[in-house]
Amino acid sequence: MRRTPVYIICSPRPQVGKTLIARLLCEFLLLQRGDVVGFDINLKEPSLVDFLPRIAETAEVDNTFGKMQVMDRLIVNDGLAKVVDLGFPAFDEFFTMVDEIGFYKEAARRGVAPLVLFVADSDRASQRSYAALRMRVPERMFVTIDNEFVLRGERPAAFDYGWLVEIAALPVFLKTYIDRIGFSFTGYLRGEADTSTELHQWIRDNYFSFREFELRLMLQNG
């Protein structure tokens, strides 16, 4: 049975590059699989739906109806890859909901393959949330994201659970360039003739990392 991937990108902290990673992952999945849907659970700007309005939609988890709508979409094995951009104000509410419905066991039963991508930060709140989450999420479903733009220098030893993926830091001028509304990572790869540029290599490196996600999910046995 083919599994439907669900990527949950999260952090209890703002300004850690979570939406940037969600954008990258959505564009990779669109290129790799032909279709993807993004769920934008954000209360702050910028948000995923602003960057990818054709494939992303807003979602809410602060009321019962919104929770039911989100979970009904995430728990179905329909072959459509899903990316959740979980804004930090909804972090606790979302994972409480996940625990209440037994999401990971139900996902395995239905052929849904979730991955929780935790974007690390060096502050205490991030480390506490990370420690709590690692007790709730199976290790094979947990990815620690080391965004070098945020975790400058050596990564704290506390972030040692699951699978580690590093996102290299870009120079500020390139970061400003890719943060423009309407910028497309895949479009840049296709339109830039010089494959040696720093941005070209950065996008390709991240796409290669994401390809490993797909391979790992294929090996999940639930």
> For residue 10, is pLDDT > 90?
yes
Superfamily of domain 4-219: P-loop containing nucleotide triphosphate hydrolases (3.40.50.300)
The rounded Cα 192 to chain-centroid distance in angstroms is: 26
DSSP states of 49-76: HHH-TTTEEE---SSHHHHHHHHHHHT-
The ranges assigned to domains in the chain are 4-219
* Confidence bin at 45 (pLDDT 50/70/90): low
> For residue 221, is pLDDT > 60?
no
170-200 pLDDT, tens per residue?
A: 999 999 999 999 999 999 999 998 999 999 9
CB atoms within 10 A of CB 208: 10
Q: Give the single-character DSSP code of 88.
A: G
* 154 φψ region: left (φ > 0), alpha (ψ -120 to 50), beta (else): beta
DSSP states of 114-142: EEEEEE--SSHHHHHHHHHHHTTS-GGGE
Written as six digits, the tokens of 60 are 């809410």
Amino acid at 4: T
Provide mean pLDDT across the span 150-168: 85
Strand partners, 85: 9, 40
CB of 178 within 8 A of CB of 20?
yes
> For residue 39, is pLDDT > 90?
yes
Provide mean pLDDT across the span 68-74: 94
> For residue 217, is pLDDT > 80?
no
85-144 pLDDT, tens per residue?
A: 999 989 999 999 999 999 999 999 999 999 999 999 988 899 999 999 999 999 989 999
Res 162: pLDDT:
83
* Confidence bin at 160 (pLDDT 50/70/90): confident
Owner of token pair 């990392």: 209
SS3 195: coil
> For residue 222, is pLDDT > 50?
no
Cis peptide leading into 46, omega within 30 of 0? yes
